[in-house]
Amino acid sequence: MNSRGKNILVLSYVVSPYRGSEASVAWNYITEMSKEHHLTVLYGCGGLHLGDNDDMERWLAEKSMPNVDFVFVKPNSLSRILNWPNRKGFFPMCYHLAYRAWHRTVYNVARELVAERHFDLIHYLGSSGYSQQGYLWKLDLPYMRGPMGGFNIAPDSMLSELPALQRLRWKFRNWHIRKDLKRNDFLAEAVRCTDVIIGATSENARVIKRHFGKDCDYMPENCMRNPGYICNDRFEAPGELNIMMAGRLDANKNNILLLQAISRMTHADKVHVDFVGDGPMRPALERYIADNKLGNIVTIRGMMPRDKVQELFDNAHLHVVTSVSEGNPTVVWEAMEHGVPTLTLDHCGMADVVDEKSGVKISIGTSEEMSAAIAVALDALVETPERLKQLSEGTIERSTIYQWDERRRKFNQYYDQTIANYNNRLKTHPHC
């Protein structure tokens, strides 16, 4: 540990060296920040569900990481009972209650650790959603939260064609966010007692500043551990436009929008789409593909080994994101690492990461308006394949600002600021 090294108590709900999404956010952070600091990492999921520790047990049985102590916080009996319906797949919303109960156990474990060891600060890294603030901000230590997100409102224009149950779910979520911003006293107190808070997207940072009066920078949850590259000459004279969508096949990912756009294209015969992933919307997507005779154009590949997914990225010309709501999907960084530009709806974290040189952004509107705009954009790329190469080169250039060297520097700045703000807070609000 260097002279700047700090002892940091880190909270990350899920940690795994083998999984993507939030598990990879935590793993990459731990791998990189432990180069300069000693981390004690509290986590509750080292596998698939709360309380599972399969991945971490397997990894720790053979390996270790310098400057890192992993502390698995087992859920208590209440958490396990509450999470049982979620594990069985028939009432996923119970997970939130289980997760909240788990946070109380985390607080008790953290209190014991703080009594035994010296920590310079606490960093609540993940999960990134604002709804579970936990209780570590109540400990008498400098406290940092983020990147934190979840304040983004799903656009009404995108909800009209969702299945009725999903439309109701999103409308309830929008209502709940607005209510929390106005009347959630626990959330307001936790934000007030946070010495540094970081928004996961520029939109979330603006919301935090506007509603809580808290200075808030923006930093995506994840970034790239390797420079972007182009591994072959696939952009020189592509015979067809290879499009890739990766992620869970659910209503939020809104995969149907891409299929609707393909159906409207003039040059649909020059396109091939690979869906990587599985989920509850797969039957509906398969029906749409059959009804619209897209079987030669679209392939649903289901779940695939990671190395096979990387092969698809290495042969893709374009990555597409059509989600109703997101933070910063990890798959955007994977595409960027492979030199694959992204076509995305112009909102959420994608709007921050993708610019006009590294992708195509589609304005938010009705499903008909957006599918028409996507179709026009795809036809234009088929007609001018040299534009694809330009976007790929722009993606490589864009990737240079999302490397871990820069991210480590920013985190170190935030840590110093956390300690300074805490000391100032003690003078003005000793009891927060």
Per-residue pLDDT at 2: 43
Residue 3 pLDDT grade (very low, low, confident, very high; cuts 50, 70, 90):
very low
Distance between CA 266 and CA 375 in Å, rounded? Answer: 8
> Nearest-5° angle of CA 57, CA 66, CA 329?
65
> Coil, strand or helix: which one is 236?
coil
Distance between CA 196 and CA 144 in Å, rounded? Answer: 5
Per-residue pLDDT at 1: 39
Distance between CA 156 and CA 25 in Å, rounded? Answer: 30
In sequence order, the 6+-apart residues with CB closer than 8 A to the CB of 378 are 241, 243, 261, 262, 265, 267, 271, 318, 343
Distances (CA, A) of 39 to 170, 181, 294, 353, 411: 37, 32, 50, 28, 13
Provide mean pLDDT across the span 16-33.
Answer: 90
DSSP 129-147: BTT---SGGGSSS-EEEEE
Q: Is the pLDDT of residue 431 over 70?
A: no
> Coil, strand or helix: which one is 62?
helix
> Taking Cα atoms as reference points, which of 306, 299, 273, 238 lies closest to residue 374?
273
Portion of the chain with pLDDT greater than 70, in percent = 98
In sequence order, the 6+-apart residues with CB closer than 8 A to the CB of 29 are 10, 12, 125
pLDDT tens for each residue of 317-339: 999 999 999 888 888 988 999 99
Per-residue pLDDT at 91: 74
Per-residue pLDDT at 324: 93
404 — phi, psi (to 5°)? Answer: -70, -25
Q: Is the pLDDT of residue 116 over 50?
A: yes
Distance between CA 120 and CA 97 in Å, rounded? Answer: 31
Distance between CA 322 and CA 249 in Å, rounded? Answer: 12
| Edge-to-edge strands, sheet with 298-302 | 298-302, 271-276, 241-246, 318-321, 342-345, 359-362
Residue 344 pLDDT grade (very low, low, confident, very high; cuts 50, 70, 90):
very high
Are 199 and 414 in contact, with CB atoms under 8 Å apart? no
Q: Is the pLDDT of residue 343 over 90?
A: yes
Provide mean pLDDT across the span 35-61.
Answer: 94
pLDDT tens for each residue of 346-376: 999 999 999 999 999 999 999 999 999 999 9
* Tokens describing residue 309: 């997914």
User: Across the chain, what does the average pLDDT equal?
Assistant: 92
Distance between CA 278 and CA 248 in Å, rounded? Answer: 5
Q: Is the pLDDT of residue 308 over 70?
A: yes
Provide mean pLDDT across the span 45-49.
Answer: 89
* Tokens describing residue 144: 């940092």
pLDDT tens for each residue of 160-204: 878 888 889 899 999 999 999 999 999 999 999 999 999 999 999
Per-residue pLDDT at 204: 95
Crossing angle for the helix pair 256-264 and 367-383, to the nearest 10 degrees? 60
Q: Model pTM?
A: 0.89
First to last CA, the chain: 32
| Higher per-residue confidence, 346 vs 235 | 346
Per-residue pLDDT at 370: 96
Crossing angle for the helix pair 21-33 and 330-337, to the nearest 10 degrees? 70
User: Which phi-psi region, left, alpha or beta, contains residue 293 (left: φ > 0; alpha: ψ -120 to 50)?
Assistant: left
| Higher per-residue confidence, 119 vs 78 | 119
DSSP 239-278: SSEEEEEES--STTTTTHHHHHHHHH-SSGGGEEEEEEB-
Portion of the chain with pLDDT greater than 90, in percent = 73
